[in-house]
Amino acid sequence: MAFSLSSGKFFRLGIKLISFYLISSLLVCVIVYQVFDLVNTGQRSPADNFKENVQKAVSTKDGRHIYEAAWGPSRGLQYSQKVAMEMPKTGDVSVAEQVPDNNFLEDSSDCDTNASGSHIFILAAMRTGSSFLGEIFAQRRDFFYLFEPGRYLADFIEAKNLSRQVLITQYLQIIEDTYRCDFSNSKVLTDGLSNETVLGKKRFAPALLHSKACFRPIKKFKRGRLQCEHPFPVSEITKVCKSKRNVGVKAIRIPDINLLLHLMKPSRTNLKVIHLVRDPRGMAVSRLRVHDRLPDGQLYNATHITTTVRYYVQRYCLSWATNIEIGNYIPWVSTNYKLVRYEDLAQDPLTHTQEIYSFVGLGSKIPFQVLRWIENNTGINEQVNQTNSNRPYSTSRNSRETYEAWRKSVQFDFIHVIQTIGDCKKLMDLAGYLEVPSETALRDPRRSFVTNIPDFTLKKYDFL
């Protein structure tokens, strides 16, 4: 009997020792894992590592890259892995020489030197690179940025089979209310954002992902995928907007800068308008490649310029030429207007991002997360991926296949017609695009048809 009790005690003691050993081993493993992770990631800050990578990339001539924004027929940007290829030389100047002399990388999470906040509007058209331009604001943590808020209103009107004539009027009201973070009269917008998936919110209103309504559940010592309350509380949309110092909107459904002039006055919103322009020849070819792709090897010619193509090219050239003249010649408008060319962003995104930030009052420093995004979406440190060269919605492009691809995709008669449509020649002159005179010139890789933007003489309009 004594032996039996003694055996039971030893058995229970053994169970306790084994349990203690297993629990201790588990705790030691967790601690070792955490220490190992800290050693690997904590020796240098992410900003330090990223600085070194970027400096290595831009110190060589292999750093000329581009991100091309690609718009779908109605639903917006179609995302894919973003890499790019070597940028062709422009006057034999390397990217290292194009990077501003001062420190363009900001170590802090953001650098907003405008205490009162900035209100920006990107005035753009389809297939002009507006999504890249918008992301340099969307990636900042001090911005409430909306990507195409008019999309929800347009979809609603189409679903109800209503007249589209009321679209712009109501859209303008939504935009003005957004700069005040007042969404009480924007139910279509808030319903649309509220019902978006996490990916949709990241695309159309990325600041919402930093709301308390979004979280990462803990699963087996790891954080799970980001989740958001569904439907997303409208009160949180307002709260997030008011928590950000700056507000920005990107839209392709506002064709006329005159519609924004009342917001550009300092007494109203003091809106800064960034007018994005692309060579109409490249824009036309890009849109055709999306909606009517030709078999490999076949070139667009004059017969592909249908009535529909002629209409949207004519409308683009007329509106954009008018916007450039109003933005540059009206003195009180010009202070809040900046012309930005797609081709310039393609060749040197860092310098032009810095210039845009300075214009809107954000200072000249590029925050770390913005620079990291530019790296991830232009392939600064990545090897070339050629698999997307024939995918019109892909954001991966050889740099020549972005802003000069139209030269390889068309015959001269196509270009000749585009150059003679409506105000396209006027737009080209205003924005610094040179006319293609012949088939030989079109095929000559040594010739560039992008030159400096001409100076605008304000004095003759001083009476305005």
Beta-bridge partner residues of 106 = 367
**Residue 127 contacts residue 278 (beta carbons within 8 Å):** yes
- Binned at pLDDT 50, 70 and 90, residue 401 comes out as very low
3-state secondary structure of 231: coil
Which pLDDT value is given to residue 219? 73
Examine the pLDDT at 384 and tell me if it is beyond 60: no
Higher-confidence residue of 293 and 211: namely: 211
pTM listed for this prediction: 0.74
Residue type, 87: M
Determine the average pLDDT of the residues in 13-17: 73
Higher-confidence residue of 189 and 405: namely: 189
**Residue 90 contacts residue 57 (beta carbons within 8 Å):** no
Which pLDDT value is given to residue 411? 95
**DSSP sequence for 181-220:** T--TT-HHHHHHHHT--HHHHHHH-GGGGGSTTEE--EET
Which pLDDT value is given to residue 216? 87
**Residue 253 contacts residue 167 (beta carbons within 8 Å):** yes
- Which residues contact residue 26 at a Cβ distance below 8 angstroms, ignoring those fewer than 6 apart? none
Determine the average pLDDT of the residues in 386-401: 42
How many helices (H) and strands (E) the chain has is answered by 21, 11
Examine the pLDDT at 189 and tell me if it is beyond 60: yes
